[in-house]
Structure 1
Amino acid sequence: MKMKVIGAAAIAFGLCGAVDTFAAGGNKGAGADDKFAKMDTNGDGKITASEHSSGASTKFQSMDTNKDGSVTTAEMDAAHAGKAGGMKMSSADKIKKMDTNGDGKLSASEHATGSQSMFAQSDANKDGSLTADEMKAAHKKHMADK
C-alpha cells in the first residue's frame, strides 16, 4: 500500500499542474519558471498547499470533460494530446496508480489525495510551501524513478 501511495504521489505531480499546461495557463511553450509563476497565485515566490490544491483541482476539472466527477483514460489522453515531449506513462497506468477503489476511473477525491501526498513529499524543508527549486528537484526525482 505504501508503494501505491508513493506512486500516486508521483503521478499526481504530473496531473496537479506543476508540470502540465494548467500551470502554464494553457501555453504549451511556457518554461518551468512561467509554470511556477502561474501556480504562485499570490506572487510570493512559493507555492502553498492551498495554491497547489487549487491547481490540482483546476487540472482535474479541466480533464473531467463530461463533468461526471471522474476522469477516464480517454479524458486524460485527450487532456495530454499534443503536449511537448509526450507522456512517459500511459493514462491507464497513471489512473491505476491512483485508483484506490479499483473502478478504472480517477475520482476527484483520489486525485486530491495523490496531490496532497505529492506536495508533502516535495516539500523538502517541511515549511508548508514549495519553492521553484523544490518543485524542480521533485520533478527530477519523479523522472528518474520512471
Structure 2
Amino acid sequence: MTSPLSSNKTQSAIRRFVLGSFLSAAVLAGSGAAYAASSAGGTADTPAPRHDKGARREIRPMDPASRIKHLDKNGDGKLAVAELPEKAQKRLGNADTNKDGFLSADELKARAEQHKKTREARQKARFARKDKNGDGFLTRDEVGDKRWERVKAADGNRDNKLSADELRTAHAARKQKAAR
C-alpha cells in the first residue's frame, strides 16, 4: 500500500509549492525583499504569518542564500541544479551562468533581475497594444465597457483616462491591502 505522501497528485502539489516558493524568492530578491522585510517589521527570511482559510496571505520570500540552504537536499551548502524539482531545473537551469552545475545566490539574483525586466517589458507591450491611439492613456473606447468597469477605479485623477502609472499604483495598493 502506498502512503498518501507518495501519490502523484501530492508529489505534484509539493513540487508546485517548492517551485512557486523558489521562484517567488528569486523574483523578489534583493531590494524588493529587503523593502518588504523592513516595512513588515521582520527579516526577509521570516515566515509569513498564518491567516484564516481562504484569506489571501502575504508571501514574504526568503533571500536567495536562505532559499539555497532550504533546498539543499544533501546539505553540502551548495544548490545543485539537479537538486531542484524537474520543472525548476528546466526554468532555472539557465541561471547557472558559469555552468558549474550549481546555483549561487548571485546567479539567482541576476536571474530574478532579468525576470523582472522581462515582466516589465511585457507589461509595457501589453499596455501599448491596448493604447490604440498611442496617446499613453487607456480609455473606455480602447478597453471596452466590461473591462473599463473593472479598471476605472485606478483612475486616480478621474479624467476618464488611465496612465500606466495609475495602473501600477492601483495594483500596488491592491496588493498591499490584500497583504493586510
TM-score category of the 2 structures, normalised to the smaller one? 0.3 to 0.5
Structure possessing the higher relative contact order (Cα contacts under 8 Å, 6 or more residues apart): 1
Q: TM-score, normalised by structure 1?
A: 0.39
Q: Higher Cα Rg: structure 1 or 2?
A: 2
